[in-house]
Structure 1
Amino acid sequence: LIKPLEDLAVLEHSVRRALDRAHLRLENQRYREQLEAANRELQASLHLLQEDQNAGRQVQMNMLPVTPWKADGLQFAHQIIPSLYLSGDFVDYFRVDERRIAFYLADVSGHGASSAFVTVLLKFMTTRLLYELRRNGRFPEFKPSEVLAHINRGLINCKLGKHVTMLGGVIDEQQGQLTYSIGGHLPLPVLYSEGEAHYLTGRGLPVGLFDEAEYSDHVLKLPESFSLTLLSDGILDLLPGDTLQEKELALPRLVSSAGGTLDGLRQVLGLANLADMPDDIALLVLSRNLA
C-alpha cells in the first residue's frame, strides 16, 4: 500500500486478500494433518491385514501334507501357486488304514481370504469324517462319492455362498485299484503309463451348490508303473490354444513330455517364473515305479 491512502477500497481489498490467504493456509494445514492421520490409520490397517494374511497363510501351509511323501510303493507330490497371498486351491492325501490311501484336490470358487477359509473347512470336514469312522470301531468302505456328498451337505448348511470343484480318490494297495469321484472339476485327471497319457472319465456336479447333487464312483485297475496328475483349472491359463478344447487336447501331451512327474511339469509349464496369475494353480501328482 502506498501512503497516503486515498482509496479505502484498495485497503479493503488488501485486507480481504490477506485474510483469504491466512484462511487458505489454515485449511491446507488442517487438510495436511487429516491426511497424515488417515495415512497413519491406513498404515496401521495394512499392517494388521498383513499380520492376518501371514497368520492365514501359515495356517494353510501347516494344513498341507508333506511333499514329497512316500507310502510303500506310492509317491505323492504337490505344488500350490496362489494368485493372491492366500489360496482357494487345496490338496490333501493321507492313509485311511493299512491298505488304503485317500487323496483329493479342491478348487474353491473366488479368491483370497474367503476362499482360503473354505479350504480350512474342507480339511476339518475330511479329518472329522475319518475320525468318526475310526471311532466307530468298524471301518466301512471309504467311498469318494460319499465323502463328496458329506462335504456338499456341510457347505450348503454353512451358507457361506461358496462352492467347490474337486476330485477325490482312494487307492487300495492290496488290490492295486483306484476308486475316484468327480465333483464338477476340470480338467479331468491325467493318467500316464508306458509313455502315453490320457484323461480319466467321469462327471459330477460342483460341491456345495445343489441340495440334490449325487456323486458316483469310478473304479480303475492301476498299472504297475504310472502317474496320475490332478490340476486345478488355473492351469488352463498356461496351456497353448485359443479355445478350451484346444487347451484340453494339449494337456495330456504336456504330461507325456514331462514324463508324468511334478518336476517335469514345472519345467514344461514354466511354473518357476510365474507372476501375477489371474487364478490359483494347484498340482498333485501321485506315482508308482516311474523310471
Structure 2
Amino acid sequence: MQSQVASSDKSEKTIRYLSTVVASSVVIFLFSIFINRFVEIKISQDTYLMFHVFTEIASALISFSIFVVLFFTYDIFYRRYSLILANTFFITGLLDIFHMLTYNGMYSLFPENIQTPTYFWIFSRFILGIGLFIAYTTKKDALSSIKKGYSIIVGILVVGVVFLLSVTYVEQMPPLIIKGKGLTNTKVIWEYIITTIFIIDIFAYVNRSEGKYTTANIYMLSGLMLGLFAEVCFMLYVNVYDTLNITGHIFKILSYGYIFRAVFVKNVRRPYQQIFEQKEMLTLDINDMTIAMEEQTAKIYKQNKELEFINTKIKDDLASTSEIQKAMFPRKDLVINDLRFNFEIFPCEELSGDYVNYFSIDDENIGFYIMDVSGHGVAAAMLGVFAAQSIGESMRINYKEASIFSPAAVLNHFYSLFNKSNFPDEIHIVMLYGMYNKNDNKVILSSAGLNCNPILISQDSKPRFLEIESGFPICKLGDVFEPNFEDYEIELKFGEKLLIHTDGLTEMRRQDGDFWGADSLLAYIDSIGVSPSFILNNKLKSQIVQNINNSGQDDDITYCVIEKISP
C-alpha cells in the first residue's frame, strides 16, 4: 500500500515538472513570436556572430560531454543503447563545430558559401533525431560486443561524408537559404521532417520508460521537449537575426543540458549514489552482524564451556568404565592346571567391543572364548557384558544337564538367549568358544561366525591355521533360522600353543596402508621361532603397537595365546 502511494506521488511530481517545462517553453516561444512580430529589434551581424559562436561552442561542449560519459562507462555496462547515443552526440558535436566554423563572417579555411553551414546544421539535427530514435527503440537489456573504438571510426566516416556533401559537393545540393529572401522550401521541409522525428523520439522514449519516473527519465524527457521547441523555432524563423532563431539556439543549449544531466545521473551519479547507499546499508548490516556475532560468540562460549564440562565428565566416566571393564577381564599370564593364558586387547576407542575369557569349569575341564561384538564404544561394551554373563549361564546349564557337554551346545543355548533379548535386530556377535580336558589333552572348539581360524604353534612343524568352519553369528534371526554349531577336536601336546584372535589383528594397517593379513601374521609367528608364550605375546604386542603408531587403528584388536606347559 505504501509503495503504491509513493508511486502515485512520484507520478504527480513528474507530471508537474514536465508540465512546468512545457508551459515555460510555450510562454518563451509565444513571447519570442510576439517580439519578432510587433517589436523591431535590430541585432548587428557582429553581435549575432558572437552569440552564435557562444551557443554553438556550448552545444558542442555539452555534446562531447555526453559522448565522454557514455563512451567511458560503456566498458562497465556494455549497453548498445549507450554506444549508439554516444556516437550520435559525437557526430553532432563535430558537425556543430563545422557549422560554426563555416558560418558567414567566420574566418575559415573552407570556401565561403551560405549553403555550407546550413547543411552542416540540417545534417547535425537530422542525425541527432535519427540517432535518438535508434537508441530509444533498442531493447533495454540489449548488449553489444562491438569495441567502442570502432564506433568512433564509424562516427568519423559519417562526419566525413557530411563534410563532402556540405563543402565539396554543396553546389550540386538544393539551396537551403537565399540571401535577401530567406529560407527555401527545401529548408522548411527539412525542419518539418526533423521536428516530426523529435516528436516520434518523445513517444519512443515514453514507451521505453514504461511509466518509471526516475530522475534520469524526467531529465531526458525535458531535454527532448526543449529540443522539439528548438526545432519549431528553427522551422518558423525567417531571418537569422530574429528572436525565434535566437530563442531556438537557447532551447537547443537547454535541451542538450537536460540530456547531459539525464546521462550523467543514470551512468555516473546514480551508480555512485547506489554504491554510497549500499555502503551505508552494509555499514548498518555490519554493525548489526557485529552485535549479533558478539551475542552469538558469548552464547557459543557459554555452550562450549558447558560442552567442555560435559565432555570432561564423559571422559572421566569412560575412563572409569574402562577400568571397570578391564577389571572384568581375566588376569594376564594366568596358569590354570597345565595351560598358561596370555592375552592383549587394544580398543580403538575408550571401551572395547572385543572380549576374552578363560576359566576353570571343574578339576578336569577349562573353558575359554574370544568374541567380537558389532560396533565400538559403550554400546558394544554393554553388549559384551551381557554376552559374558550369558556364556557363563549357558555353560552352567549344559554342565548340569549333560554328563558330556560341548562348546557347540553352549553356543546353541547362547543363540537362544540372545534371540529372547531386547537388543536391536542389527546387533550381532561373532565368537569362538573352546574347552580343554587335561586328562586326554583334547581341545574342542566351536565357532559362531568368527572368520579368524585359530593358529596351532608346534615345536615340530611350522605354525598353521586350524581348518574349522566359521559357523553362524549370534544374531536376531531365531524366528527364521536355527543354526547347527559344530565341534572340532584337536590334541594339544606339551609345548604347543594355540593363538585365537579377532579380525582386528589381521585387518590392522601396515605402513603402506594395506592390511597386515593372515599370511603376514602366520609368517611373523614363524619368524619368532620356538619360544614360551610370554615371549610370543611380547613380540606380537610390540608389532601391533608399531603398526598402530604408523597407520592408526580402525578396529579393536584382541588375541589370546594358550600354551600347554606340562606333559
TM-score by length of 2: 0.45
Task: Please state if 1:216 is matched with 2:486.
Answer: yes
Amino acid at match of 1:141: I
In 2, the alpha carbon distance for the partners of 1:139 and 1:129 equals 12
Amino acid at match of 1:41: E
2:417 counterpart (140, 147, 154): 154
- 3-state secondary structure, aligned to 2:517: helix
2:334 counterpart (69, 82, 91): 69
* Larger RCO (CA within 8 A; separation ≥ 6): 1
- From the superposition, tell whether residues 215 and 139 of structure 1 become closer, same or farther in structure 2 (CA, over 3 Å): closer
Task: Please state if 1:264 is matched with 2:536.
Answer: yes
In 2, the alpha carbon distance for the partners of 1:218 and 1:21 equals 75
- Per the TM alignment, residue 222 of structure 1 is displaced from its structure 2 partner at its CA by 2.0
Q: How many residues align?
A: 277
Q: What is the percent sequence identity of the aligned residues?
A: 22
- Per the TM alignment, residue 22 of structure 1 is displaced from its structure 2 partner at its CA by 5.6
CA contact (8 A) 2:501 2:559 kept: yes
The farther-off stretch of 87-96 and 41-50 is 41-50
Where does residue 277 of structure 1 map in the other structure? 553
Task: Please state if 1:200 is matched with 2:476.
Answer: no
1:170 counterpart (435, 447, 452): 435
Amino acid at match of 1:208: C
Where does residue 3 of structure 1 map in the other structure? none
Amino acid at match of 1:200: L
Where does residue 145 of structure 1 map in the other structure? 408
User: Structure 1: which 5+ residue stretches go unaligned?
Assistant: 1-8
CA contact (8 A) 2:352 2:380 kept: yes
- Name the one with the larger helix percent: 2
- Per the TM alignment, residue 95 of structure 1 is displaced from its structure 2 partner at its CA by 0.3
- Per the TM alignment, residue 195 of structure 1 is displaced from its structure 2 partner at its CA by 4.4
CA contact (8 A) 2:452 2:503 kept: yes
CA contact (8 A) 1:86 1:112 kept: yes
1:182 counterpart (428, 442, 447): 447
CA contact (8 A) 2:398 2:410 kept: no
In 2, the alpha carbon distance for the partners of 1:228 and 1:237 equals 20
CA contact (8 A) 2:508 2:555 kept: no
The farther-off stretch of 205-214 and 86-95 is 205-214
Q: How does 1:14-93 map to 2 (within 5 A)?
A: 23-93=288-358
Amino acid at match of 2:468: G
- Per the TM alignment, residue 186 of structure 1 is displaced from its structure 2 partner at its CA by 2.2
Amino acid at match of 1:51: D
- From the superposition, tell whether residues 84 and 281 of structure 1 become closer, same or farther in structure 2 (CA, over 3 Å): same
CA contact (8 A) 2:508 2:553 kept: no
The farther-off stretch of 56-65 and 18-27 is 18-27
Where does residue 564 of structure 2 map in the other structure? 288
Where does residue 252 of structure 1 map in the other structure? 522
User: Structure 2: which 5+ residue stretches go unaligned?
Assistant: 1-272
- Per the TM alignment, residue 43 of structure 1 is displaced from its structure 2 partner at its CA by 1.0
- From the superposition, tell whether residues 15 and 248 of structure 1 become closer, same or farther in structure 2 (CA, over 3 Å): closer
In 2, the alpha carbon distance for the partners of 1:153 and 1:262 equals 37
The farther-off stretch of 235-244 and 100-109 is 235-244
Amino acid at match of 2:439: Q
Amino acid at match of 1:236: T
- Name the one with the larger strand percent: 1
Kindly name which structure, 1 or 2, has the bigger radius of gyration based on alpha carbons: 2
TM-score by length of 1: 0.83
- From the superposition, tell whether residues 139 and 218 of structure 1 become closer, same or farther in structure 2 (CA, over 3 Å): same
